[in-house]
């Protein structure tokens, strides 16, 4: 069991070390997420003087920005591996393949959370959305949703690392499967942003997200083992 976590730590630390030096992924992903939010905000803010977004736009835009920037980050994380041909080396390393998966997953989750640290206040500002009122629940939603999205995303991105047309195939494959996560995230967030925050509804969506996480991580772990045996 210890060997497993050691591999996980080695893989995750490698990614963090590379990232800490160049900060390429974090800078570009954050800026892309910010541009997404800005583009959406000019499209969806209502005509009225108070600048409130149409309906539940704030919740939807937050999650869309996460999904889009997450997809790009996933593609580029494995592009880096492919470029250095390190993926093969990683998989040949002693220790369970699953540990490699978990290591990469933790790296992606860290990157996405870091992006959200910037994007959440931005959305709150641009849409005058009270995201910090029930911050604990908003954070729970974001963390659970990020884990769900990233777990499937890491699997698919790894799978596609050497495939043809991988750039466009990643979103094509990823979005249908992660739509339940998106729905739960958006509904939970908009329940909290409503004029009368519905804490019970939000709690329900959080629990649903957690069950998605369990299913997706388990399925991804099992599939990663079988898929990477080439």
Least distance (Å) from another protein to the CB of residue 133? Answer: 27
- Which of 85, 165, 195, 196 is in the footprint of another protein by CB under 8 A? 165
- By rule CB under 8 A, what string of x and - marks binding of each residue 178-197 to another protein? -xx--x--------------
- Which of 125, 172, 199, 214 is in the footprint of another protein by CB under 8 A? 172
How many C-beta atoms surround the C-beta of residue 89 within 10 A?
A: 10
Stretch that binds another protein, among 13-21, 37-45, 51-59, 168-176 (CB under 8 A): 168-176
Stretch that binds another protein, among 15-23, 42-50, 61-69, 165-173 (CB under 8 A): 165-173
Q: SS in 3 state form for 113-160?
A: HHHHHHHHHHHHHHCCCCCCCCHHHHHHHHHHHHHHHHHHHHHHHHHH
Alpha helices in the chain (DSSP H): 2-22, 24-44, 57-83, 86-92, 97-126, 135-160, 166-193, 199-227
Length of the chain: 230
Least distance (Å) from another protein to the CB of residue 155? Answer: 7
Q: Is 177 in the site for another protein (CB under 8 A)?
A: yes
169 to each of 87, 95, 107, 109, how far by Cα in Å? 19, 29, 22, 21
Tokens of 3: 């060997």
Least distance (Å) from another protein to the CB of residue 221? Answer: 12
Q: Is 227 in the site for another protein (CB under 8 A)?
A: yes
Subset of 132-161 contacting another protein (CB under 8 A): 152, 155-156, 159-160
Phi, psi for 44 (deg, rounded to 5)? -110, -5
The residues that bridge with 53 in the sheet, in sequence order, are 45
Of 37 and 59, nearer to another protein (C-beta) is: 59
Least distance (Å) from another protein to the CB of residue 126? Answer: 26
Is residue 111 a contact partner of residue 147, using CB atoms and an 8 Å limit?
A: no
Cα–chain-centroid distance for residue 174? 11
Least distance (Å) from another protein to the CB of residue 227? Answer: 5
Q: Is 199 in the site for another protein (CB under 8 A)?
A: no
Of 92 and 163, nearer to another protein (C-beta) is: 163
- Note the residues at the interface with another protein (CB under 8 A): 152, 155-156, 159-160, 162-166, 169, 172-173, 175-177, 179-180, 183, 215, 219, 223, 226-227, 230
């Amino acid at each position: 069991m210890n060997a497993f976590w050691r591999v996980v730590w080695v893989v995750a630390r490698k990614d963090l070390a590379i990232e800490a030096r160049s900060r390429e992924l974090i800078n570009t992903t954050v800026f892309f997420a910010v541009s997404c939010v800005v583009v959406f905000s000019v499209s969806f803010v209502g005509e009225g003087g108070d600048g409130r977004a149409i309906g539940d736009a704030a919740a939807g835009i937050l999650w869309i920005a996460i999904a889009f920037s997450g997809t790009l980050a996933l593609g580029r994380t494995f592009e880096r591996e492919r470029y250095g041909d390190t993926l093969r080396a990683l998989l040949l390393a002693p220790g369970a393949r699953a540990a490699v998966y978990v290591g990469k997953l933790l790296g992606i989750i860290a990157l996405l959370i870091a992006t959200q640290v910037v994007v959440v206040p931005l959305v709150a500002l641009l849409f005058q959305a009270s995201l910090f009122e029930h911050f604990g629940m908003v954070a729970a939603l974001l963390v659970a949703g990020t884990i769900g999205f990233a777990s499937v995303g890491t699997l698919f991105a790894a799978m596609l690392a050497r495939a043809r047309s991988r750039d466009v195939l990643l979103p094509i494959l990823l979005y249908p499967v992660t739509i339940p996560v998106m729905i739960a995230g958006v509904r939970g967030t908009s329940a909290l942003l409503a004029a009368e925050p519905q804490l019970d509804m939000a709690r329900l969506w959080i629990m649903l997200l957690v069950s998605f996480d369990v299913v997706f991580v388990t399925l991804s772990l099992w599939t990663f083992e079988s898929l990477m045996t080439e």
